[in-house]
Amino acid sequence: MKIPETPKRFDLWIDGAFTPSTSASYMTRQSPAHDCPVTAIAAGTAADVDRAVASALQTFESGVWANTSGAERSAILYAVAERLIERKQELALLETLESGKPLAQADSEVEWAAGIWKHAAALCRHLYGQSCNTLGASTVSMTLREPIGVVGLITPWNFPLLIASQKVPYALAAGCSAVIKPSELTSATTLILAEILKECGLPDGVLNVVTGYGDPVGQALCEHKDIEMISFTGSTTVGKAIAATAACNLKKVCLELGGKNAMIVMDDADLDAVVDAARLGAFFNMGECCNASSRILVHEGIADQFVERLTAFAKELSVCDPLDETSKLGAIINETQEQKILGYIAAGQKDGATICLGGGKVETEKGRYLEATILDHVPADSATATEEVFGPVLSIVRIKTLDEAISIANRTAYGLSAGIFTNDYNQAMKASRALRAGTVWVNTWLEGHPELSFGGYKQSGLGRELGSKAVEEYTEEKTVLFSLGKRQPWW
């Protein structure tokens, strides 16, 4: 895999074709790993959003997609899954160049994305209403699930193709038309996804892609009168702003936001399993992951042994050029994020935490790389232990009891995921019921399947993605009542 000599240029995708933005300008994306331009992405405008929404609305109202059968939709979505695999190398390389993540990881993510499209393809044929036959001899009713309309999808930079694949296929499976705005930092694979959908038979205008900055593109999507729903993945701060904007015209919102996920390690846990899971959970995707195990609440009886083993294991991680097949940690997305991460490390030290590993930059000729960092003796209520760092920083908090661990785990504004490692069935059940999080792992971490719903409690979001009811998020439920025989007079 090689760095391109010239950046690959992309226009907007509107009405089934690449289309220049009305701004006539492009955003050049520098590789965070190589400090060179890799893509040039059209800088969209509010006028471009209007064009894209108009195209989506026309196709929705025409019924060209909304009135197709589940079988027809399923065939197209399944074909997309197969096409993603065929173009896996191209997609993975673009993700690596724009995001800085290891190429081997990006390669796997394309496969995960394809699996999600297959799941959505199956759900196309399993979207049901209900009937009610207990309303008396003269009345029978049913409910219908209908596509909500034109939806706006806004995706982040950390898993561009994967998170687009948690939204787009389910919206399409429901029969919606859509406009998607990917992050301005990682737009390329979403644009290729749109091209693949056309190749696989999706009618023009059903999916449109408007690239650009949050202001104006994201703002225009959230405010647009013809958008019936916004599905957003990103920070809690931005999610709150989107919810406030959507309230002005009562759009439905589905929000997958931040997390500060606690991994509880009890003194009877299998240390080999925990150390491996902790390393994955904390440092996968450079910690730029909403489900990261960024804080570990470890029982004081095994804490010293655990920290020693985890530190030794984490030292083996290769932090280097993401195009290197040995790379486990690639580059940090941009300088702003790098400084934020370093700020949390400094704050942790100021609060009394001890650096067991890392703590600074990896000196390289090009790119932004941070060391895998482990902080021990982190105060449970410190910023480093309660706020989302979104970097390769693991905070270790020592606990005495499971009750204490559950209390600390729940004492944040977030509730995305959590987990416990223990060989005690009673402790595992107690924690899984008491932890206020949308996903609770027992003796594992970061394990996920399209069949399982995903979303958060509290300020980690609203609604759910994936799972058997994912398509229902993009529908309205309609009640239809039939009166049988002669109608009884009102008076």
Q: Is 290 a catalytic residue?
A: yes
Residues with Cβ within 8 Å of 118's Cβ and at least 6 positions away in sequence, in order, are 77, 78, 81, 450
Q: Which residue among the candidates 95, 98, 184, 256 is catalytic per the annotation?
A: 256
Residues with Cβ within 8 Å of 374's Cβ and at least 6 positions away in sequence, in order, are 282, 307, 310, 311, 314, 355, 356, 357, 358, 394, 396
Please state the separation of Cα 413 from the chain's center in Å.
19
Q: Which residue among the candidates 124, 176, 289, 290 is catalytic per the annotation?
A: 290
Would you say the C-alpha torsion 288, 289, 294, 298 has a positive or negative sign?
A: negative
Q: Which residue has the tokens 């309660």?
A: 386
Contact indicator for 345, 376 with CB cutoff of 8 Å: no
Contact indicator for 104, 325 with CB cutoff of 8 Å: yes
Whole-number Å distance between alpha carbons of 156 and 195: 20
Strands 475-483 and 139-147 turn out to be: antiparallel
Output the six-digit token pair for 375: 């902080």
Which residue stretches of 63-130 are H helix? Answer: 70-86, 88-99, 103-123
Q: Is 289 a catalytic residue?
A: no
Residues with Cβ within 8 Å of 132's Cβ and at least 6 positions away in sequence, in order, are 140, 141, 142
Output the six-digit token pair for 276: 């491996």
Q: Show which residues are catalytic.
A: 256, 290
